[in-house]
A and B are shown apart, each in its own frame.
Chain A
Amino acid sequence: MKITFDVNGRRTEADDVWEGESLLYVLRERVGLPGSKNACEQGECGSCTIYLDGDPVCACLVAAGQVQGREVRTVEGLADGDTLDPVQQAFVDAGAVQCGFCTPGLLVQTHDLLERQAQPGDAEIREALSGNLCRCTGYEKIMDAVRLAAARKAEAASNRVPVRPERFTGS
């Protein structure tokens, strides 16, 4: 079957889609967006997290046919041209990326968290990221990155002195 949907603001068509195929497969193999990662295909790891009509969901659990006419935003759609989203920049600066396999899903999930709750407490961060597994970092640097992103977004909003990462990484 053929499906037409919006990805990162662009109308996109995928052809010869198998009826039982996941959105994750379509994104990675048919429309050239391999940012969303395929690790478990059963909703357990969160590395395929994307926005579907504004809600973060696991792309591996959405049937391709279900996105006909809908809006999808992937990790590739977070940056503004060459300028990384504050969440992405914070992950880089806080050293929250090791092998990087979990990173795309964590970025989308963190992006959503900070849209809904600009200054989350640690418990809220843990809860929001409870469906994203990372096997490398031990999560501490990821927590640092989320706090850093939140602080930078708050700074940007009040337009004061830029926040340096050292304050949040415990070094």
Chain B
Amino acid sequence: MEFLRPATWDEALAAKAEYPTAVPIAGGTDVMVELNFDRHRPVALIDLNRIPELHDWETGADGVVRLGASVPYARIIGHLSDRLPGLSLAARTVGSPQIRNRGSVGGNLGAASPAGDSHPALLASGCLVEAASADRGPRMIPIDEFFLGVKRNALEPDELILAVHIPSATGPQQFAKIGTRNAMVIAVCSFGMALHPEAGSVRTGIGSAAPTPRRAGAAEEFIAAELADTGMWASRGELAAATAKRFGELVAEAASPIDDVRGSAAYRRHALSVLARRTLTWTWDEYRAAGRAAA
């Protein structure tokens, strides 16, 4: 095995082009478990810790946060919870403080687990994954096209993730996760949700209840139409309980969960409908409160 230590982004891309089966290692919180248990012995590791761009973030004039792939969760929670509240809430539920000091969104996307906690938040915000290769340069992958199958993503073998471009929140966002305790839990199922008042839309992300993280399209369309028809974005009126309940049902229908050691498919569906109903109610109540505060 080789241990490659590129000092720059270009060197990292060159290394990945030369060794397409090499495993990039950022926080190592997924990669090292595989190595320690000898589940996988790659030809080489490519250490991404030395590349400054991967550990930085900046907010553009358009409000889009360019989040370096290797920025650890603890930094997202500490510095970006105002602009990226949904992602920060999700980050707070990852592992433990020690895991959050190392683990990153780039690593979560690289692993592409259906249970990755950043994924529902990224789907709900909407974002672009900036990948690059030495041969073909950079390209932007919409998050909706990133997850291809269980632990499979849209990256080519010679590509690395440089950053994720996430719009700053324009409305309330939420994330909720089911597990046996608050810390150190792989989600039984999870749900992310974001209101986009400027676009009159609501976006969602379902975790751990399908082969990939996915949006609940019919639920999004239902609630957007409901809010538009009743003029609620402007009036900030109270959400009918039946509307929230229906939204929850549609989210549950969008999932295709399995029975496994963490929970049954039926439980996952039920839990999702509850999470969706609650997070919709929380975000809507926050939207109403913001309207009152501004008045």
A19 and B31 CA atoms in complex are apart in Å by: 13
B-binding segment of A57-65, A74-82, A95-103, A160-168:
A57-65
Instruction: Give chain B's interface residues, CB within 8 Å of chain A.
Output: 1-3, 5, 25, 27-29, 31-33, 35-37, 41, 44-45, 47, 49, 72, 74, 95-99, 101-102, 182-184
* CB <8 Å contact, B98 and A62: no
Report the interface size for chain A: residues with CB under 8 A from the other chain.
28
Q: A57 is contacted by which of B1, B35, B98 (Cβ under 8 Å)?
A: B98
B32, closest chain A residue (CB): A61
Q: Residue-by-residue, is A77-95 near B (CB-CB < 8 Å gives 1, otherwise 0)?
A: 0000000000000000000
Residue in chain B with minimal CB distance to A112: B97
**Nearest CB in chain B: distance from A113 CB, A:** 9
Q: Are A63 and B99 in contact (CB under 8 A)?
A: no
Chain A hits for B102, CB < 8 A: 55, 57-58, 61-62
Q: Contacts A58-B99, A63-B25 known; A131 to B47 CB distance under 8 Å? A: no
| Residues in chain A near residue B45, CB distance under 8 A | 19-20, 63, 65
13 contacts between A and B (CB under 8 A): A20-B1, A46-B96, A55-B74, A55-B102, A56-B97, A57-B98, A61-B29, A63-B28, A65-B5, A66-B25, A66-B49, A109-B98, A130-B182
Kindly supply a per-residue 1/0 record for chain A positions 102-134, scoring 1 wherever the CB is within 8 Å of any chain B CB and 0 otherwise.
Answer: 000000010000000000000000011011100
Are A63 and B183 in contact, with the CB atoms below 8 A? no
Q: Given A41-B37, A130-B184, A131-B183: A66 and B47 within 8 A (CB)?
A: yes
Residue in contact with B32 in the complex, picked from A55, A63, A131, CB distance below 8 Å: A63
Q: From the candidates A22, A60, A61, A127, name the one contacting B27 in the complex (CB within 8 A).
A: A61
Q: Which residues of B contact A62 (CB under 8 A)?
A: 28, 32, 102
What B residues does A57 contact at CB under 8 A?
98, 101-102
List B contacts of A63 (CB < 8 A). 3, 25, 28, 31-32, 35, 45, 47
CB atoms of A41 and B98 under 8 A apart: no
List residues of chain A with CB under 8 Å of any chain B CB.
1, 18-20, 22, 41-44, 46, 49, 55-58, 60-63, 65-66, 68, 109, 127-128, 130-132
Instruction: Enumerate chain B residues within 8 angstroms of A44, measured Cβ to Cβ.
Output: 184
| Complexed CA–CA distance, A55 and B55 (Å) | 15
Task: Compute how far the CA of A65 lies from the CA of B139 in the bound complex, rounded to whole angstroms.
Answer: 30
Residue contact B1 to A19, C-beta cutoff 8 Å: yes
Residues in B whose Cβ lies below 8 Å from that of A60: 32, 36
Q: Cα distance A18–B38 when bound, in Å?
A: 13
Chain A residues whose CB sits within 8 angstroms of the CB of B101 once the complex forms: 55-57
Docked complex Cα distance between A55 and B41 (Å)? 28
Known: A63-B31, A66-B49. 13 other contacts (CB 8 A): A19-B1, A19-B45, A20-B35, A22-B35, A22-B36, A42-B36, A46-B98, A55-B102, A62-B28, A63-B3, A65-B45, A131-B96, A131-B98
Closest CB of chain B to A13's CB: distance in Å? Answer: 16
Q: How many whole Å from A28's CB to the nearest CB in chain B?
A: 13
